[in-house]
Structure 1
Amino acid sequence: MPRSSLPRLREAVAGAAKIVSSKVTTFPSMSKALDPAKYYNNQELNWWARAIGCRTDELVAFTSLGNPTSKPIITAKQLASPPALRKSYFDYRIEAPVASLRTARAKNLYNKHEGLSDAFRNASSYLETLREKHYEEVIEALGEIEATLGQNGANGVDDLLTKNVDAYGKVKSLTKKVELLRQQAEENGPEPYLQFKRDEMDMRFPIYRHYALENWKNFDLIQLVDRLETLHVIPDTLPLLNPTQAVRIRFPGDRAYWIDPGRVLSTKVTKNPPEFEINNFSDKEDVYTILIVDPDVPDPAGDTFKTMLHYLITGVRASGNSPAPDFSDARVLASYLPPHPEKNSGTHRYCVWVFAHLEGKPLNVSGDIEDWSEILSGKRELSLEERDHFNIRSFQEFFKLKDVGAHLYRCKYDSETDNVRREFGLGTGNVWSRQRLQHY
């Protein structure tokens, strides 16, 4: 290895280590790094070598020196980025041309404006000062919350509600203020947004919940409402919905992925219960009831369609800190019934509705309603006859539930439907036909 290239290699790798180590001190998730020495025979190692301007064998020779002070550190995302951007990750010298300049002519013509570096440092210093100011206000608000709880002898916010309603309202207001201040302290920094885009965020921090909410509003919410309306889930199941929480579903298997609302799936894929993710974009934990209905079951007696209940589970807990639901206290009121459309019955909509419990209380009914009392007590589940002609609107009104989110997937009769019917003992099913009328 030429001696002249060794200092340049040391400088580039040390610069990369310096950049990553500075990120690690502030954001722990950046510490998930890869050692290029593990990728000697991979194309990723070649990318790394080109990024710091050397041959692959030179990089291998250099890493074999085992110098602990300049051990190459690189994240998987950086290894997979385009060469120009990858080089800009490691080139910490301000004199280097920007990564957006692709041609040699553009790079030669590039001249950094005088004073740009000073302006950048001043802007960074200002943002850091602003960040510290927000966190000082956070500490002040937290102290005020603690003092209010102490003055009223309350063990927590819920306990305060029973002792002093005015103080409870004050503490709730201060809690929201703390959440907002923590968000504002980080929202101007480049690192949180970069980590959010790389899906390396920690949802316990308000800034990431804020980014997740904005991202959901800008795309997923629009797509969901569009599918619910164009596929007539609204008003065929419920008359109206204003989603406030994000709901995602996927089905277990080798190719499990979060599905888009309205996607048509094979009955083989949907034969097992779906996995859910519910995000209320808050650190508060909510209690939910989740149900799945099919409003497209033919009803020859009424010459119309009826709604079949396919799944009903209550007592599910989730929050913005942990969108993966907690089923430890959940109760299944109606076990999952896999989609099994009958032949020639068209494409069926399987509508997922998520209801939030008021004040986080579990479902409860008086003893006058014997059937629901038995079901909620766990003595039995809803039978197939009780699932038939299920009225979702009456269910929501009776239990006083708030609809906060929804999802949708579709199935139709396919080559796997008969196998699903046999596996779950659902019978052979009907074959529907439409009588052709003669028009004169």
Structure 2
Amino acid sequence: MFALWRLQPLPRRQRHQRQNRPLAFGGFPVYDEALKIIKADSEVLKVEIREVQASLEAAKKVPEPDTEAIKEIEEKLQYLEIQSEINFPEVQWKCANGMVDLSKAVDRHIIEKRWRKEGALDLLMERIHQMHVVPDVLPDLHPSFDLRVTFPEHRDKNNTPEADVKPKCGFVEPGVYLLPEQPPKLYKDVFHTDERLYTLIIVDLDVPDEAINSYQTFIHWLQ
């Protein structure tokens, strides 16, 4: 059975912090000067952000709004919001240590960039092609958000954890049998703020079909 999601040991927000916090202002003169430059650049961009916001409000108030023009202004506004915050060490540190605020454009941008550039998406696409999901099930596939699934570890009757101890969740090796008491947990990171609907499917690509002496695709679950 193959599910169209990426398995990952732990959701980002539950990982332990592994990096030191950024240096505080006043520790090193050169570092302080760099922070001053970053802050000054951010202030300039925030002035431009206010101007673009005013233009966006004006564009929406006309009797017949130009949807294409509004979209371009919104994209420019998001770009400026990202650029006004992305160079601050504190912003980068928080995103690297699981303190992500998905209501902020800069945080969404940082985690999406890491998902696309640091190997997670590449690994997902590699498995999709290795297991012939593309093109056997779908002619093509372009993931647009990060969906992760974890399973709690199985413990037999002689190794039952205490009631107040939560079982560890993690990656399950292909071929390992899962039991009913091991329900999966799903974690997702979406990189947009507008409302969208998604369909979750669990599909088996290789169900034996004796009638044709071959294999068929079977949908186990759809929601």
TM over 0.5, shorter chain: yes
Equivalent residue number for residue 127 of structure 1: 38
For 2:136 and 2:59, the matched residues in 1 are separated by 49
Alignment of 1:236-275 (within 5 A): 236-251=136-151, 254-255=166-167, 257=169, 259=171, 263-268=174-179, 272=183, 274-275=184-185
Counterpart residue identity of residue 125, structure 1: K
Of 235, 254, 263 in structure 1, the residue corresponding to residue 135 of structure 2 is 235
Deviations 1:26-78 (A, max 9, x none): xxxxxxxxxxxxxxxxxxxxxxxxxxxxxxxxxxxxxxxxxxxxxxxxxx95x
For 2:210 and 2:39, the matched residues in 1 are separated by 69
Equivalent residue number for residue 300 of structure 1: 210
User: Which runs of no fewer than 5 residues in structure 1 stay unpaired?
Assistant: 1-75, 95-115, 153-162, 314-440
| Change over 3 Å in CA distance of 1:240–1:275 after alignment to 2 | same
For 2:72 and 2:61, the matched residues in 1 are separated by 17
Equivalent residue number for residue 57 of structure 2: 146
SS in structure 2 opposite 1:287?
coil
Structure 1 residue 202 and structure 2 residue 86: aligned? no
| Change over 3 Å in CA distance of 1:211–1:174 after alignment to 2 | same
Structure 1 residue 193 and structure 2 residue 92: aligned? yes
| Change over 3 Å in CA distance of 1:189–1:93 after alignment to 2 | closer
SS in structure 2 opposite 1:201?
coil
Alignment of 1:407-426 (within 5 A): none
Deviations 1:284-340 (A, max 9, x none): 221112211112111111100112211111xxxxxxxxxxxxxxxxxxxxxxxxxxx
Contact 1:183 / 1:207 at 8 angstroms: preserved in 2?
yes
Deviations 1:148-199 (A, max 9, x none): 22222xxxxxxxxxx44xx211111111111111110111110011111111
Counterpart residue identity of residue 134, structure 1: L
For 1:239 and 1:190, the matched residues in 2 are separated by 42
Structure 1 residue 288 and structure 2 residue 187: aligned? no
| Change over 3 Å in CA distance of 1:213–1:270 after alignment to 2 | farther
Structure 1 residue 312 and structure 2 residue 211: aligned? no
Percent of residue pairs identical:
25
| RMSD value, Cα | 3.0
Equivalent residue number for residue 80 of structure 2: 181
Counterpart residue identity of residue 308, structure 1: F
Counterpart residue identity of residue 185, structure 1: S
Counterpart residue identity of residue 49, structure 2: V
Alignment of 1:34-433 (within 5 A): 77=17, 94=27, 117=29, 119-152=30-63, 163-164=64-65, 167-217=66-116, 218-251=118-151, 254-255=166-167, 257=169, 259=171, 263-268=174-179, 272=183, 274-313=184-223
Deviations 1:103-162 (A, max 9, x none): xxxxxxxxxxxxx72x4333222111110111111111111111122222xxxxxxxxxx
| Change over 3 Å in CA distance of 1:240–1:149 after alignment to 2 | closer
Deviations 1:399-418 (A, max 9, x none): xxxxxxxxxxxxxxxxxxxx
For 1:264 and 1:232, the matched residues in 2 are separated by 17
| Change over 3 Å in CA distance of 1:311–1:183 after alignment to 2 | same
Counterpart residue identity of residue 170, structure 1: A
Q: How far does residue 266 in structure 1 lie from its aligned partner after superposition?
A: 2.3
Structure showing greater relative contact order (alpha-carbon pairs closer than 8 Å, 6 or more residues apart): 2
Counterpart residue identity of residue 51, structure 2: E
For 2:56 and 2:216, the matched residues in 1 are separated by 53
For 1:122 and 1:207, the matched residues in 2 are separated by 23
Q: How far does residue 270 in structure 1 lie from its aligned partner after superposition?
A: 7.9
Aligned pair count reads: 195
* Larger deviation, residues 222-231 vs 251-260: 251-260
User: Which runs of no fewer than 5 residues in structure 2 stay unpaired?
Assistant: 1-15, 154-165
Contact 1:248 / 1:258 at 8 angstroms: preserved in 2?
no
For 1:175 and 1:196, the matched residues in 2 are separated by 24
| Change over 3 Å in CA distance of 1:187–1:93 after alignment to 2 | closer
Contact 1:251 / 1:270 at 8 angstroms: preserved in 2?
no
The structure that has the greater radius of gyration is: 1
For 1:89 and 1:139, the matched residues in 2 are separated by 30
